[in-house]
Chains A and B, each alone.
Chain A
């Protein structure tokens, strides 16, 4: 067993034990903090497929996070007001069912990622970063200018959506749902990274030309990865909106894209648990330092600087050493 595997097991255990402790100690706020960390980790895990495996520095992943959030917001707001989303040419009604909302969030963010990817993946480097950023900002301003769904003020949802057989208003049960989704997605990502698709994607990150000579189109490979990445981040957006029972244009903002990228870099780019560690550390710092100063991001910036300069494998790379094929 590698040190990284051991580190991952410890991290997974903490994700189980910490909320259990908070539940036993009757600390619902702590459970909510853990839920937020898990959801943000999921968003980072999505980005990690594009950034870590594919080497695609997307500064527009907030677009998918926001689409997932608004998928939840729009469906739930229509369900709570008993008004259909669309009456003609066919009836589309809102829903309060989490699985249906997740499905819509995954499909809509996946389609958006496919469309954005088709255009942006024709470029590389700084142009790719700028195009993804531009798409994210376009959706940000679109959401601001959409008064039907709250415009700049955002859209509140009064009751958390439901999941069959569970009370989602109970923090530990909602945490359980989010944790289970993260676990499933992590398992999927672990398999994906070792599949022929994941290996070819990793190879294309090193050199596209060599991948072409073995009969693989790097463009299609990256497009598929970008789409999967967007779908996972979109699912995280839907869960995040459900956690807060609120969606706002902030979910689309470039700061959100930057934060998702920070999770990945803090934990370790292309490390399976990198975004999990990064998001947990982010929430921890926000909780500990945010109480001391409104400007706690200064310390986050300092930490990020240290990691980028001295620990390029992120926190996991520092503890587990190199050896992952992605540093």
Chain B
């Protein structure tokens, strides 16, 4: 069953058009990798799905509901949990307070987040601003989980982190896939790790989807042509 459907959307930053008709679909329990070089429209696509940027044409539906007229917070309430690029935790709140502020009723609570990221439990009374980059990323994921989303969107969740911390984040994503069956949209550049967690991939180039398929079909020819690897 299709959970998220993005149909030929376009979006602009002022007079500059950034998306030129991006389409993708995501079913319940699917893990989709959204890939592309820098500046190709990955984060812009995420922002339009979350209604942080208006869609100028095309249609986005979540669980069958058109998101056109919904403000950002209502999209989140429909079950779209965002882990934004650059972590963006609530800096002056403690770890525990960051989680409580975002909490909505459901499966995920502070105890479950602490089980997924034991390091957060150790730092629960520490202010978010004092955490390391990796810990802030864990907190950003935890905060998104506290909203009990049906779809978790991770925008460059491992960017700029130490390899060992990246491993922890990827392990957590794999665990989420395995244990919760949550639909996940991952924006990242780590092809190898994406191959381990994602079922399908969409590649963007200059604001358009240029390749869609399963991770197994993502051969060297495709990665060389669109990702430069």
Please give, as numbers and ranges, the residues of chain B lying within 8 Å of A211 by CB-CB distance: 73, 101
Asked if A212 and B76 make an inter-chain contact with CB atoms under 8 angstroms apart, the answer reads yes
| Least Cβ–Cβ distance between B71 and chain A, in angstroms | 7
Assess whether B93 is in contact with A325, with CB atoms less than 8 Å apart: yes
Asked if A209 and B72 make an inter-chain contact with CB atoms under 8 angstroms apart, the answer reads yes
A199 proximity list for chain B (CB < 8 A): 90, 93, 97, 100-101
Check B18 for interface membership: any CB of A closer than 8 A: no
Assembled-state Cα–Cα distance A198/B58 (Å): 38
Known pairs A202-B90, A202-B93; A196 contacts B73 (CB<8 A) = no
Q: Which of B72, B77, B101, B147 has the most CB of A within 10 A?
A: B101
Q: How far is the CA of A285 from the CA of B102 in the complex (A)?
A: 43
Q: Which residues of A contact B146 (CB under 8 A)?
A: 214
* B76:A213 contact, CB within 8 angstroms: yes
Most chain-B Cβ atoms within 10 A of its Cβ — which of A199, A206, A214, A216?
A214
Q: Mark A209-226, 1 if CB is under 8 A from B, else 0.
A: 111111111100000000
Say whether A80 faces chain B, with CB atoms less than 8 Å apart.
Answer: no
Residues of chain A with a CB closer than 8 A to B77's CB = 215
The residues of B that contact A218 with a CB separation of less than 8 Å are 73
Residues of chain B lying within 8 A (CB to CB) of residue A214: 76, 81, 101-102, 104, 143-144, 146-147
Does B84 count as interface, using CB distance less than 8 angstroms? yes
Give residues 181-200 of A contacting B (CB, 8 Å).
194, 196, 199-200
Interface centre among A202, A206, A212, A326 (most CB of B within 10 A): A212
Does B72 contact A202, Cβ atoms closer than 8 Å? Answer: no
Tell me whether B3 is interfacial, beta carbon within 8 Å.
no
Residues of A within 8 A of B50 (CB): 213
Is B91 part of the contact surface with A, judged by Cβ < 8 Å?
yes
How many chain B residues touch A (CB < 8 A): the figure is: 29
Q: Contacts A210-B90, A213-B50, A325-B94: A196 and B84 contacting too (C-beta < 8 A)?
A: no
Q: Which residue of A lies closest to B91 (CB)?
A: A206
Q: How far is the CA of A3 from the CA of B129 in the complex (A)?
A: 21
CB neighbours (8 Å) of A210 from chain B are 84, 88, 90
> Which of B88, B102, B144 is the one whose CB lies under 8 Å from A207?
B88
Asked if A206 and B72 make an inter-chain contact with CB atoms under 8 angstroms apart, the answer reads no
Name B residues whose Cβ lies closer than 8 Å to a Cβ of A.
50, 52, 71-74, 76-77, 81-82, 84, 88, 90-94, 97-98, 100-104, 127, 143-144, 146-147
Other contacts beyond A210-B84, A214-B144: 14, CB < 8 A: A196-B101, A199-B93, A200-B101, A200-B102, A202-B90, A206-B91, A206-B92, A207-B90, A211-B101, A212-B52, A212-B71, A212-B76, A214-B143, A217-B73
